[in-house]
Amino acid sequence: MNTDVRSQAEALGLPLREESRDRLQIREIPPQGLVLRIRRDPSAIAGDLGLSTAVEAWFLLFRMGVEVSVRFEGTCGLRVCCSRCLEGVDLSLTFGSRVTFLPIAAEVDPERELMADDLGVAFYRNPEIPLLEMVREEILLLVPMQPLCTPLCQGLCSKCGRRLGRAACECRDADIDPRWKDLQSLLESGTLSPRSS
C-alpha cells in the first residue's frame, strides 16, 4: 500500500522533523499535525530480520483528542537465502500502513468496538506511539517465508550439491531409476522415439 506520506506532508506544508527516539509522546503532536523521519541501522531493529541496509521511514501523525491517526511508509534492504538453492538474495522492500490509535479504555465503548474490528486500529495504554515497533512489524509481514533467487530456481542437486540449471551436473543422467533402464535403452537404440504416442 502506498500511503504517499511525503507528498501529503508537503501538500499540507508540514515541516519535517528527524526523530531519533523510538517512541513518540502523543502530547508532542501539534494540532496541525507532525511529520517525522526515522532512520536506523539494522542493528537498531530488534530481532534478526535479515536487514542489509538502514531502514528509513516517514510518519504523518494527527491527533484529535485522544485519538491519533498515523500514516507511515518506508524502505529497507533485506538479505535472505533462496529457499531452494540457498544462494543469497537481496530484496528491496517498500512498506507502508495506517493505524488509528485509541486509548485502551475506549476498547469497552460499544461504538468503538466496531472500529476495533477494522484493520488498522490499535489501543494504547501509555500515551505514546511506538514508531520503531510499527516499522518492525510492517517489515516482518513482508519478509518472504520461502524466498527464491529466481522464480524458476531448480535448487541444488541432491547428489553433488551443485546448483541445478547453472553448473554442469551429470548426476541425474547417470542416476536413472533402474525401472526405466529398459525404456532408456530403447530410446537410445532408436527403437522408440521420445515423442511417439
Q: Does residue 186 bind Zn ion (CB under 5 A)?
A: no
Distance, in Å, from the CA atom of 6 to the CA atom of 29, rounded to the nearest integer, reads 17
Identified binder of Zn ion from the candidate list 5, 55, 106, 149, rule CB under 5 A:
149
| Phi then psi dihedrals of residue 113, to 5 deg | -60, -35
Q: Does residue 153 bind Zn ion (CB under 5 A)?
A: yes
Q: From residue 71 to residue 100, what is the string marking binding to Zn ion with x (rule CB under 5 A)?
A: -----------x-xx---------------
Identified binder of Zn ion from the candidate list 16, 66, 160, 167, rule CB under 5 A:
160
For 4, the grid coordinates are 504517499
Nearest residue to 40 (alpha-carbon basis) of 31, 49, 29: 49
Question: In this structure, what DSSP letter does residue 1 have?
Answer: -
Distance, in Å, from the CA atom of 82 to the CA atom of 117, rounded to the nearest integer, reads 36
Q: Does residue 157 bind Zn ion (CB under 5 A)?
A: yes
| Phi then psi dihedrals of residue 32, to 5 deg | -80, -5
Identified binder of Zn ion from the candidate list 17, 159, 166, 181, rule CB under 5 A:
159
Min dist. Cβ of residue 102 to Zn ion (A)? 45
Min dist. Cβ of residue 86 to Zn ion (A)? 7
Neighbouring-strand partners of residue 69? 62, 100
Residues that bind Zn ion (CB under 5 A): 82, 84-85, 149, 153, 157, 159-160, 169, 171
